[in-house]
Amino acid sequence: MKYNRYNISSISLNFFLWPKEPFHIHGFTYLLLISLLFAGTFFAQNSDAENLDALYEARVLAATEQSENELIAKAFTQVLIKVSGRSDVTKSAAYKSMLKKSKDAVSQFRYDYKDSVDAAIAVSSAENQSSAAKNIEQHKEKWFWVRFNSTTIDILLKDAHLPVWGKTRPTTLIWLSQEVRGKRTMLSQFEGPGVYKTLERQAKQRGIALMFPFYDLQDNNNISVNDIWGNFTDTILLASRRYQAQSTVTLRLFQDKSGLWISRWNLLLLGQSDSWTIRHANRSYVLSSGIDRLVDKLAQQFTQVNDAEDNEGILIQINNVRDFKGYQMLDDYLNNLATVKTVNLMQLEYDRLIYKIIYSGDKNTFIQEIHLGDMLNSVERSGVEANNANKDYKPVILDNLDQTESRHNSLAQNIQGIQYNKLNETGENEQSQRHSETSDANTQLDYQTPAAVIVEELFPEREYWFAH
């Protein structure tokens, strides 16, 4: 890959060749700008991975001939697709009945006005700023934004036997190469902004986060165009390690002799490979449709509808939970997993917690989902088969420095308080009675052995290290 004037590595190299005389002003400013550029690119990519809070929101273009009910229905469909992870929601037998309830599911809505793409192009190219301003006014677009009630959406999908995909979703790294007139090159964000905007827009609409390589000196040494077009999996995965994405995609984009755009995709996920090809006369279509296919495949992997009765659940041990804040983060994380139905704390001992988790669907799907975030890392035990039948699999303390009574007591007290509050969330008649009984018992509570601690000998099937 040839470096262009936007490449960070090239700019950094040019900086060292900067004349020494102006360094006290220009050189420092130049270095500062490059640092901000690098940091901005990195954090912009990673912030998307952690900002999936808009799953129940949608924004649609408000055409003059469309009524408000029609706009709500259109946005409602987008949200159903985004939350379920299924692009074929409209083909569901329950779709029409769900659509009738779309207006009742609205929590907030508003109209926004923003510049169209044509107006933005006009501003960047117009020499006369006053004419550019007029152009913007003429190209203002009216958009309808709406947020739906998450509980209502989830219930509608479950009643329709459709999956509900939670906020914990895999971040996907995309290696993009384009062929133009027989020449194949890596296409960076600076060289193909239109391509990347299309990918990002569709990914946002489907509720997943994308990550793009820097294509800097390190990437240039680790991977080549031939690796992308040849689908050399080992090289691709090795080059992708620095980005720590949960799934990796290679995308090859080109036009055939007839003028059709062709996008060839290859997904590397959980040790498996999956490929698909999209053909169309419109470049944006082949890119958007490719993202749709990607999200469908991810959702199929990490969501599952199971109408059978609840399973017996799984016992997991989590180490290194050092304080109550960490416990809250962990509790929220587990409860927000798409396959999780209930989370029960069975045992607490120093910085080790043992949970019993009831999940829907297949156990492997749950185990794969728990790995998506960066919060829990697996602890592998050599020579010990991890299952409930093996009585040798017992909790171990991995950090002796954290076995202080004060830390243990503080965490136990806070958890005890949560259990006490949950106890009082039942019916009004039971609430008063339980409040009185628990209050009396709470005065004599020994926090060194709280209710969640050592009730019985448990044998966790999986063990994890809490990374935060």
pLDDT digits (tens, 9 = 90+) for 17-35: 344 444 444 454 444 444 4
- The token pair at 219 is 């990437």
Give residue 30's pLDDT. Answer: 47
271 pLDDT tier (thresholds 50, 70, 90): confident
Give residue 123's pLDDT. Answer: 39
Measuring CA to CA, which residue among 419, 397, 423 is closest to residue 346?
419
| HSE-CB of 301 using CA atoms within 13 angstroms | 25
CB 366 within 8 A of CB 315: no
Percent above pLDDT 70 for the chain: 65
211 pLDDT tier (thresholds 50, 70, 90): very high
Q: Is the pLDDT of residue 3 over 70?
A: no
Percent above pLDDT 90 for the chain: 44
Question: Which has more pLDDT, 274 or 167?
Answer: 274
Q: Could you say which DSSP state residue 134 is in?
A: H
Give residue 246's pLDDT. Answer: 87
CA atoms of 312 and 301, how far apart (whole Å) = 22
CA distances from 395 to 88, 315, 461 (A): 45, 12, 11
Q: Domain spans of the chain?
A: 8-51+167-301, 57-159, 314-466
Q: Is the pLDDT of residue 306 over 80?
A: no
Other residues' Cβ atoms within 10 Å of the Cβ of residue 160: 17
- The token pair at 12 is 């950094």
3-state secondary structure of 266: strand
Q: What is the per-residue DSSP string for 196-239? A: HHHHHHHHHHHT-EEE-----HHHHHH--HHHHHHT-HHHHHHH
Give residue 452's pLDDT. Answer: 46
CA atoms of 172 and 250, how far apart (whole Å) = 10
Q: Could you say which DSSP state residue 167 is in?
A: S
Question: Which has more pLDDT, 36 or 189?
Answer: 189
Contacts of 243 (CB under 8 A, 6+ apart): 173, 211, 213
CB 461 within 8 A of CB 356: no
Give residue 183's pLDDT. Answer: 95
Give residue 456's pLDDT. Answer: 61
Backbone angles phi, psi at 414, to 5 degrees: -65, -45
pLDDT digits (tens, 9 = 90+) for 436-446: 444 444 433 33
45-49, 262-266, 328-332, 391-395: range with highest mean pLDDT? 262-266
What are the residues facing 148 on neighbouring strands? 106
CA distances from 50 to 148, 173, 207, 209 (A): 21, 14, 11, 8
Give residue 124's pLDDT. Answer: 40
CB 266 within 8 A of CB 273: yes
Q: Is the pLDDT of residue 116 over 70?
A: no
Q: Is the pLDDT of residue 282 over 90?
A: yes
pLDDT digits (tens, 9 = 90+) for 399-423: 433 444 455 556 666 666 555 455 4
Other residues' Cβ atoms within 10 Å of the Cβ of residue 172: 25
Question: Which has more pLDDT, 301 or 5?
Answer: 301
CA atoms of 289 and 263, how far apart (whole Å) = 9
Question: Which has more pLDDT, 40 or 320?
Answer: 320
Measuring CA to CA, which residue among 378, 380, 323 is closest to residue 350?
323
pLDDT digits (tens, 9 = 90+) for 83-112: 999 999 999 999 999 999 999 999 999 999
CA atoms of 216 and 120, how far apart (whole Å) = 29
Pairing type for strands 352-359 and 340-349 reads: antiparallel
What's the mean pLDDT in 338-342?
A: 81
Length of the chain: 468
Least confident of 1-15, 158-172, 325-339, 396-410: 1-15
Q: Is the pLDDT of residue 15 over 50?
A: no
CA atoms of 146 and 72, how far apart (whole Å) = 7
**Model confidence, pTM:** 0.66
What's the mean pLDDT in 214-218?
A: 95
Question: Which has more pLDDT, 334 or 263?
Answer: 263
- Superfamily (CATH) of domain 8-51+167-301: TolB, N-terminal domain (3.40.50.10070)
289 pLDDT tier (thresholds 50, 70, 90): very high
Question: Long-range contact list for 22-27, CB < 8 A, 24+ apart?
Answer: none
